[in-house]
């Protein structure tokens, strides 16, 4: 993997977290592949496809605020048109007026589409406090 690819994947991960912190769900949705998949933390199940993930993001936007995310222990690896970024997501936010703290080992799978990287998989496993 080239150092340039690694840097691109790290930058795209940081952009994803910035969009999440800003609760810019339209920008997050635009970063998803059509067949993206992710964990629904509210139900403990999977969301499959852009439309399903968009619905989940909209649900979150209605219940959380003041999101602050930080990626620690970040590592990017790429294989041609596929990239994986692993990190620990350290996050605080307000949910229904109560402060929540989250620490979650997280994996993002990206696929190169055109000139950029699109998010194909979001896998985050929150650890109990």
pLDDT digits (tens, 9 = 90+) for 89-117: 999 999 888 999 999 999 999 999 988 99
Q: Is residue 30 part of a domain?
A: yes
- Cα–Cα distance list, 77 to 21, 42, 74, 86, 125 (Å): 24, 29, 10, 9, 20
How much is the average pLDDT of 9-16?
A: 96
| Whole-number Å distance between alpha carbons of 81 and 1 | 11
- Residue at 129 is within a domain: no
In a domain, 16, yes or no: yes
The range of the structural domain enclosing residue 15 comes to: 3-124
Tally of domains in the chain: 1
Q: In what order do the strands lie in the sheet with 45-48?
A: 45-48, 32-40, 116-124, 98-113, 82-95, 64-79
* pLDDT reported for residue 126: 85
């Amino acid at each position: 993997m080239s150092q340039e690819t690694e840097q691109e994947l790290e930058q795209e991960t940081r952009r994803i977290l910035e969009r999440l912190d800003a609760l810019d769900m339209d920008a997050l949705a635009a970063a998803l592949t059509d067949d993206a998949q992710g964990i629904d933390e509210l139900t403990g199940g999977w969301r499959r496809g852009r439309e399903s993930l968009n619905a989940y993001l909209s649900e979150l936007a209605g219940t959380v605020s003041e999101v602050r995310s930080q990626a620690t222990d970040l590592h990017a690896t790429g294989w041609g048109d596929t990239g994986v970024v692993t990190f620990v997501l350290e996050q605080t936010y307000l949910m229904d007026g109560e402060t929540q703290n989250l620490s979650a080992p997280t994996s993002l799978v990206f696929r190169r589409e055109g000139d950029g990287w699109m998010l194909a998989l979001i896998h985050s496993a929150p650890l109990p406090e």
